[in-house]
Amino acid sequence: MPSVRLTPLLSLLLAGAAWSAPAAHDRVILVGDSTMASSTGYGDALCARLTPETACLNLARGGRSSGSFRAEGRWDEVTGLLRDGAGYRRTYVLIQFGHNDQPGKPGRSTDYATEFPVNMTRYVQEARALGAVPVLVTPLTRRSFRQGYVQDDLAPWAGTVRKIAAATGTPLVDLNALSLAAVQAMGPKEADKLARVGANFDHTHVGPLGAQRFSDIVARELLRKVPALAPAFAPGERTAARGAE
């Protein structure tokens, strides 16, 4: 078979095309507290809804607030990953705090009027500056009922996140409103089935059923609010989301 001789110009063009070829797959990084973290939240179940090719890193940790997550250096881990993101088509950072920012949690609580909004805005700005797509998530509702109604004690923090999303043009998954409506509709007896069992039972964290239920809500909202992320979801997830519209 005769050999093919490439001219210097053609060789340069081919090399340039190979160098500039875009990465094929997306990456999702989860940043938040225990209601998103492994074992106690919905984060791992959300990752399981993505394609095997999509990198999904659940860096949410229990007990963390918008302040302590940064103070412990955990946000530095995220920014380090973002700086090394050339192998991905796009990186999405889902950011959810609020539970541990509430008063009465030494070393974690943040001032609602000043620190919390500044912290959340800074996460958005820094993720975006490093080339990522930030997505704000309002805090997952607690499942505590009083006189037949879910107690929405996280409403002020959720409201602040909504305002920040609007002001910064950031996609918003309003998990607080959607999860509260879902829990209200099912009532306390059914809502208790979403919790962890045994000694770990409470009305904040979730077991397998809760993880599936709330990750489904987040997945459908992501497909609706961030359509560019659709290829990262398994085909069945995209079909289910269309069927729910």
| Amino acid letter, 68 | S
| Amino acid letter, 105 | K
Go through the domains of the chain in sequence order and give each one's CATH number. 25-243 (3.40.50.1110)
* 7 vs 137, residue with greater confidence: 137
* 3-state SS, residue 28: strand
Residues 4-29: what's their mean pLDDT?
A: 60
Residues 163-171: what's their mean pLDDT?
A: 98
Q: How many CA within 13 A on the CB side of residue 104?
A: 2
Q: Which of the residue ranges 12-21, 142-151, 161-170, 236-245 would you say has the lowest mean pLDDT? A: 12-21
| Contacts (Cβ under 8 Å, ≥6 apart) of 64 | 32, 33, 34, 72, 74, 97, 100, 108
**What pLDDT, on the 0 to 100 scale, is given for residue 19?**
47
Is the pTM above the cut of 0.85? Answer: yes
**What pLDDT, on the 0 to 100 scale, is given for residue 237?**
82
pLDDT of 18 strictly over 60:
no
pLDDT of 90 strictly over 50:
yes
What is the token pair recorded at 211? 């993880």
Q: What angle do CA 116, 91, 229 make, to 5 degrees?
A: 100
User: How far from each other are the two terminal CA atoms of the chain, in whole angstroms?
Assistant: 57
**What pLDDT, on the 0 to 100 scale, is given for residue 24?**
82
| Amino acid letter, 196 | R
pLDDT of 244 strictly over 70:
no
pLDDT of 13 strictly over 50:
no
**What pLDDT, on the 0 to 100 scale, is given for residue 21?**
52
Longest dimension (CA), the chain: 85
**What pLDDT, on the 0 to 100 scale, is given for residue 243?**
55
C-alpha 159/C-alpha 112 separation (Å) is 11
pLDDT of 11 strictly over 70:
no
Tens-place pLDDT, residues 25-66: 999 999 999 999 999 999 999 999 999 999 999 999 999 999
Share of the chain above pLDDT 90, in %: 85
Mean pLDDT of the chain: 91
- Confidence at 240, pLDDT banded by 50, 70, 90: low
pLDDT of 7 strictly over 90:
no
**What pLDDT, on the 0 to 100 scale, is given for residue 17?**
45
| Contacts (Cβ under 8 Å, ≥6 apart) of 30 | 36, 43, 46, 47, 56, 57, 58, 59, 60, 94, 96
Cβ–Cβ contacts within 10 Å for residue 119, how many?
22
Closest to 26 (Cα-Cα) out of 94, 79, 74: 94
**What pLDDT, on the 0 to 100 scale, is given for residue 245?**
55
Residues 181-187: what's their mean pLDDT?
A: 98
Q: What is the β-pairing status of strands 149-150 and 145-146?
A: antiparallel
Share of the chain above pLDDT 70, in %: 87
How buried is residue 73: exposed, middle or buried, by Cβ count under 10 Å (0-12/13-18/19+)?
A: exposed
* 245 vs 165, residue with greater confidence: 165
Closest to 62 (Cα-Cα) out of 200, 227, 229: 200
Which DSSP letter does residue 192 get?
G
